[in-house]
Structure 1
C-alpha cells in the first residue's frame, strides 16, 4: 500500500507511516516512556523528549542514545496537561510532519499517565489529491457487524474525522481495468475540496469523500466535468465516458457510511456509460425515482415500452437514437440535446421522429415525455451490469 501511495502522493505515504508507527506502539501492550521517546526521535530524525506529570522524563537523540540535561532548542512541542509535555528538538525550522508526529506522540504519552488515549486526530492535511486506502479499513467502515468504536477507529486510521459527515462514491469501469485506479484518476481530475480515500472492492472503485464544509454540495457536477475534461482531448474524454460509470451517495454521518454506499450502488445502476452527463448519477438528484431500483429487474425488462426501446437500440445506430431520446427527455430542448451529444439538431430531430413513430409518443407532450423517461429508467435498470 505504501508503494502505491508513494506513486500517488509522497506526503500521503509519509503520513500513513507516521500513523502506523504510533498505532503499532499503542497496540504493542508494552509501551513505556523510554521506548516512546526513543522511537519518536528515530522517526522524526531529530532529538525528542517527554516529561510526564508524575516526574518521569526521557530525552533521546535520533540515533537512539539517551541525552542528559535539559533540551537545548525545542523546535515544537505539545502539552499533556498542567505539568506534562512532549517536544522535538530539530535544528532549523520544524519539519512538514512534526505537528502530526507530536499529536500522536502526545496521544501515546497520555496513556502512560494512566488515562485512556483520546480520539486520534484527523491528520493535519488539507483537502488534496485522492489517497489510496487500506481495503481492510474500508471494509470496517462499511461493515454492519462492527461496533461504532471500531468503525470510528478505522475512519481515524484512514485520516477521516468520525464526527464529520461524508459521502460514498462507487466507480465502475471496463472489466479489464482496475476500478481503483480508474477512481483515483477520476477523483484526481475532479480536484474536490475534500479529503478523498479510494480503494477497490471487487469490481468497484470505492471512494470516501469528506469535506471540511459539512454543507458541501454533491461532488457529482465536478465528477461529470472530470469525465468530460476537454484538456485531455475529445477522443480521450469520449473513451472515458464510454467505459466509466459513477454513482454518488448522499451525505450521511460518518459512522453510517454504509448507508451512503448503498445509495451510491443504487445510483450506479442509473448511470449510463457513453455520455459524460449520464455517466455520473447522483442519488440525491434522483429523488423518488431511486425507488424504481427496488423493482426486480425481470419485471422492468418485461415492460412493453422497455422492450420497444430494446428493439430500437438493436437497429443500426440504435445507441445514438436512445442517447438522443435520453438527452431530450432530460433537457426538454432539441438544441440542448444536440449540443450535449455533439450532433446537428436536425439529426437529433430525425431520431426523435423515429422514436415517436415506433412507440406512438408525442415527445413535445410533457406526459408522453414522462412516460419515455420512465421507460428509459426501466430499461437502464433492467440491463445495468452488476
Structure 2
C-alpha cells in the first residue's frame, strides 16, 4: 500500500490522499487500537470533531485530541453531518459547511475500523459470530460461540452477505452481524431466519442448521459475487444445481471457452443475449429491448456465430446461464 501511494502521488494527488486514508486506518486496525485512538486519528485526518455512539454512550474528540464541550448531544449527530452506521451505533464528522475532499473516505474507513476493532473484543456478539462462521474452527468452538449468540444449533437459519458499505437494516438482537475478511474482500455477514425479508445488494446463503453456519456463509459470499447489478439479491438456494457447478468451475472459470466468448462481447451485446435467453420468443425479446424484430433476429444470428451455439436452444440456454454466472466471478 505504501509503495502504491508513493507511485500515485505524482500522478494523481487526490487519489494518493485517498489511499493514504485507507493505509492510515489499516495501520491503526492492525495495531489493535481501541475506539478512542480511532476517533482521534479520524479527527486529525479530517481537521474537525469526530463523534461515535457505541450503543451505550456518545464519544467525541477534536483534532487537538481534546473532548469538545459543545456539539453533538445525547441524540447523536445533526442530519447535515457526514454519518455512517455501524453494527452497534454510528460515527460522524461534525463538519459545518461544504464537506472536504476526503470526508467521505474518512468516515467510511472509520466506520469499518470501529466494527473490526469492536468485533475482536472477547465475549462480544460480533466476535462470537465470527467464530461461528469460521470453518477452520473446530465444532466445539463453534458450538460455544453459538451458545453465546443464543442460537440453537438445530435451528434453521441462513447467512446473508452484504457489501461492507451496506447500512445495517436489521435489529442486532434478532440478527447478529459482523464484518468478515474473505479472500474476495470484506463483507458484512448477518444471520437471519428464513422468513426475514432481505434487501439488496445481498447474497443469501442456503438455509442450514446453525451449527453449519460456515457453509451457509460460503454460499452467501458466492451469491454476493454473482450479483448482476448493485441493488439486486441473489439467493444461493434458488440457483439449485447451478450453485454446485459454479463452485466446482470457479478455479478454472477464466479458461472456459464459453466464458472467454462472452468476455469478448461488450455490455450491450451481453444485455441482448440476456433478453434472448430469457424471453419466450425473439419477437418478445425485441419488444423488451425496444428493437425491431428483424434487427434483433439479425443480431441473434451474429451473436450465435460469436458464441458457437444458439442461446435460445435447450442446451444453449443452459450453457449461456452457466457461462454468464462464471463471467461475473471472473469480472
TM-score by length of 2: 0.51
Kindly report which structure 2 residues correspond to 1:138-157, keeping only aligned pairs within 5 A, or say none.
Answer: 138-144=129-135, 146=137, 148=139, 150-157=141-148
CA displacement at 1:141 relative to structure 2: 0.9
Q: Secondary structure at the match of 1:139?
A: helix
Kindly report which structure 2 residues correspond to 1:211-250, keeping only aligned pairs within 5 A, or say none.
Answer: 211=193, 216=194, 222-223=197-198, 226-227=199-200, 244=201, 246-250=202-206
CA 1:207/1:299 → structure 2, altered by over 3 Å: closer, same or farther? Answer: closer
CA displacement at 1:344 relative to structure 2: 2.6
CA 1:134/1:330 → structure 2, altered by over 3 Å: closer, same or farther? Answer: farther
CA 1:296/1:137 → structure 2, altered by over 3 Å: closer, same or farther? Answer: same
Q: Which runs of 5+ in 1 are unaligned?
A: 15-131, 173-178, 228-243, 313-317
| CA distance in structure 1 between the partners assigned to 2:311 and 2:191 by the alignment | 39
CA 1:326/1:300 → structure 2, altered by over 3 Å: closer, same or farther? Answer: same
Candidates 161, 165, 170, aligned match of 2:161: 170
| CA distance in structure 1 between the partners assigned to 2:137 and 2:325 by the alignment | 35
CA 1:266/1:332 → structure 2, altered by over 3 Å: closer, same or farther? Answer: farther
| CA distance in structure 2 between the partners assigned to 1:363 and 1:374 by the alignment | 11
CA 1:267/1:337 → structure 2, altered by over 3 Å: closer, same or farther? Answer: farther
CA 1:136/1:352 → structure 2, altered by over 3 Å: closer, same or farther? Answer: farther
Matched, 1:196 2:175: yes
CA displacement at 1:356 relative to structure 2: 2.8
Moved more, 252-261 or 355-364: 355-364
CA displacement at 1:144 relative to structure 2: 4.0
Aligned residues: 216
Candidates 226, 235, 244, aligned match of 1:270: 226
Q: Secondary structure at the match of 1:306?
A: helix
Q: Which runs of 5+ in 2 are unaligned?
A: 1-33, 37-50, 58-118
Checking the alignment, whether the CA contact within 8 Å between 1:335 and 1:345 is kept in structure 2 is no
| CA distance in structure 1 between the partners assigned to 2:270 and 2:317 by the alignment | 13
Candidates 277, 285, 302, aligned match of 2:255: 302
CA 1:287/1:147 → structure 2, altered by over 3 Å: closer, same or farther? Answer: same
| CA distance in structure 1 between the partners assigned to 2:292 and 2:175 by the alignment | 43
CA displacement at 1:150 relative to structure 2: 4.1
Aligned residue in 1 for 2:189: 207
Q: Secondary structure at the match of 2:177?
A: strand
Aligned residue in 2 for 1:344: 290
| CA distance in structure 2 between the partners assigned to 1:302 and 1:259 by the alignment | 26
Rg larger for: 1
